[in-house]
Amino acid sequence: MRSPEELREAFEGFLEGLPLGPDLGELEMALRYSLLGGGKRIRPVLCLATGESLGRDASELLPAACALELVHTFSLVHDDLPALDDDELRRGQPSAHIRFGEGIAILAGDALLTEAFRLALSYPTPEPARVLADATAGMIGGQYIDITTDGDLDGDGLAALYTLKTGRLLSASIESAVVIADVPSAEREPWRAFGKELGLLFQIVDDILDATGTAEELGKTPGKDEASGKVTYVSLYGVERARELADEARKRVLARLEALPSDTTVLAELVSAIRERRA
């Protein structure tokens, strides 16, 4: 099995050569600006690593992995808009609406989402597209809760929000590989449980980094959640307790991994990288 870095390199090569719809015209520049401007690529690498753990070649998973990254990038482009998070920095460069203007950023996000489903529908079965649609709807629903909640969430409410906003697309990174690998429906639940726990771990760490990281490390503006009065694991529990909760979440994720009937060595590496990340 290939390492996370090798999988990332394979993904980057596929992404760079990705053909986009012929009708986009010069809007394509804005799409590629946001897509190729960097990023951790956690979702596509998770998809590829899950597929390989199930005995599938990564090349079979690349369109699905790319679709996931396009949806993620669409969400970032729109999240940064003044009407939502109003952030001027993303992936270490000016946000799309700063670089191209709000109108073009909105259209670029729309086009990224459309191109994602073009890729997901390239498979002979509609299941990858269904998984992506369910995850995207959940992510958008979580964003709605996020912008309409005035700092009155408790711990359970915050976990429910993050399950939608962040967890659904991370879970889809795993489930997409599971359906493409043709794992029987009755055997998919342990993979879903792993994905759900992983999504929570990712977001707890994200909250810690937002409170403790720098713009250079994060590639985006730190402290935005606190400044906007959003409830986070850090605002509810403090930094030290949030770190303890992240460690507890990692233990649960690894326990889920150990229960899976596959070689999950590379996935375990990714779990550790998510917990220890600094960006």
Q: What is the pLDDT of residue 228?
A: 72
Distance CA 100, CA 123 (A): 33
pLDDT of residue 264 exceeding 80, the answer is yes
Cβ-based neighbours of 30, under 8 Å, separated by 6 or more: 96, 99, 100, 104, 105, 107, 108
Count Cβ atoms within 10 A of the Cβ of residue 119 and give its class: 0-12 exposed, 13-18 middle, 19 or more buried.
buried
Distance CA 190, CA 198 (A): 12
Sign of torsion, CA 1 36 197 215? Answer: positive
pTM of structure:
0.93
Backbone angles phi, psi at 93, to 5 degrees: -140, 165
pLDDT digits 0-9 by tens, 70-123 = 999 999 999 999 999 889 999 889 999 999 999 999 999 999 999 999 999 999
pLDDT band for position 152 (cuts 50, 70, 90): confident
In this structure, of 125-134, 140-149, 240-249, the range with the lowest mean pLDDT score is: 140-149
DSSP lists the bridge partners of residue 89 as 94
The residue to which tokens 């700092």 are assigned: 151
Q: Are 253 and 194 in contact (CB under 8 A)?
A: yes
- Which CATH number is 266's domain given? 1.10.600.10
Q: What is the pLDDT of residue 214?
A: 76
DSSP lists the bridge partners of residue 90 as 93
pLDDT band for position 1 (cuts 50, 70, 90): confident
Q: What is the pLDDT of residue 103?
A: 97
Max CA distance (Å), the chain: 51
Count Cβ atoms within 10 A of the Cβ of residue 192 and give its class: 0-12 exposed, 13-18 middle, 19 or more buried.
middle
The residue to which tokens 């600094």 are assigned: 278
- Considering only CA atoms, which of 90, 136, 91 is closest in space to residue 113? 136
Give mean pLDDT, residues 50-71: 95
Distance CA 45, CA 275 (A): 16
Cβ-based neighbours of 24, under 8 Å, separated by 6 or more: 31, 111
Distance CA 5, CA 41 (A): 10
Residue 160 sits in which domain range?
4-276
Q: What is the pLDDT of residue 212?
A: 87
Counting the structural domains of the chain, the total is 1
Structure tokens at 106: 């909105």
Cβ-based neighbours of 259, under 8 Å, separated by 6 or more: 190
Q: Are 128 and 176 in contact (CB under 8 A)?
A: yes
Give mean pLDDT, residues 17-41: 92
Averaged pLDDT score across all residues of the chain:
92
DSSP lists the bridge partners of residue 93 as 90
Structure tokens at 276: 């220890």
pLDDT digits 0-9 by tens, 205-262 = 999 998 887 777 677 777 677 777 788 999 999 999 999 999 999 999 999 999 898 8
In this structure, of 150-154, 172-176, 209-213, 264-268, the range with the lowest mean pLDDT score is: 150-154
The residue to which tokens 């060595």 are assigned: 265
Count Cβ atoms within 10 A of the Cβ of residue 22 and give its class: 0-12 exposed, 13-18 middle, 19 or more buried.
exposed
- Where is 89: in which H helix or E strand? strand 89-90
- Considering only CA atoms, which of 125, 107, 141, 137 is closest in space to residue 29? 107
CA 13, distance to chain mean position in Å, is 19
